[in-house]
Amino acid sequence: MSRLLLVRHGITEFNSARRFAGYSDVELSAAGYRQVERLRDRLVGDKIDAVYSSDLRRALVTAEVISSGHKVDIVTCPELREVNYGNVEGLTFEEISRLYPEVAESLTNFSHRLKFPGGEGFEELVERASKFLDKLKRHMPSQTMLIVSHSGPLRVLMCRLLGIDLRHWRQFRLDNASLSIVETYPQGAIVSLLNDTAHLRGVDE
């Protein structure tokens, strides 16, 4: 059995303001640092054999803080980046609705053909994030891997690992600094923990 610790990065000012942050390399907010410190403390006693992270700062810093108590290098992976929102980077949904109503409609109704002007489409995100799974094949079945990324890629990985249709992509809720655990076996994968944020009780946003 391989054990995958799937972590969404800590909260940012963009998250707090509900602004779309894809390739925008925003930093963790002060609350985000407190969140990932709590998650570090939660995982300090866990065995972690490898750490993979998106190369965007909010994810990479999250990975650095969590893995600080473990003697393991962080492998940065551009394929774990959030979707490139293109022209709608930094906008709120209300602003997108006003400036790009067709994009807002696609977001609301969710179409696999969703394409962000000047950025990526959903199918491009799926193809990119799915390539990451090849890296996991090089590990022994008994190892535990920490994967720090963003909501979009992590949900793609969940669908791929569980072998379910990507139309269920939006049915996974992954909050900032949440921990999900997927155990992989030759017969398939099992979710043993999903979107757990018990370690964040008392942390102000």
Residue 101: inside a domain, yes or no?
no
Domain count, the chain: 1
Residue 105: inside a domain, yes or no?
no
Strand 179-185 relative to strand 144-149, pairing: unpaired
Q: What is the pLDDT of residues 181-195, one digit of tens each?
A: 999 998 899 999 999
CATH number at residue 33: 3.40.50.1240
**Residue 205 reports pLDDT greater than 70:** no
**Residue 204 reports pLDDT greater than 80:** no
**Residue 177 reports pLDDT greater than 80:** yes
**Residue 111 reports pLDDT greater than 70:** yes
Residue 95: inside a domain, yes or no?
no
- Please give the full DSSP string across 116-179, using - where no structure is assigned: -TTS-BHHHHHHHHHHTHHHHTTS-TT-EEEEEE-HHHHHHHHHHHHT--GGGGGG----TT-E
Assessment of whether the complete model's pTM goes beyond 0.85:
yes
Residue 32: inside a domain, yes or no?
yes
Residues with a catalytic annotation lie at 9, 82
**Residue 48 reports pLDDT greater than 70:** yes
- Domain, as residue range, for 36: 2-90+124-200
The C-alpha angle 64, 171, 6, rounded to 5 degrees, equals 20
Mean pLDDT of 27-38: 97
Query: Which secondary-structure segment (H or E) carries 106?
Result: helix 101-109
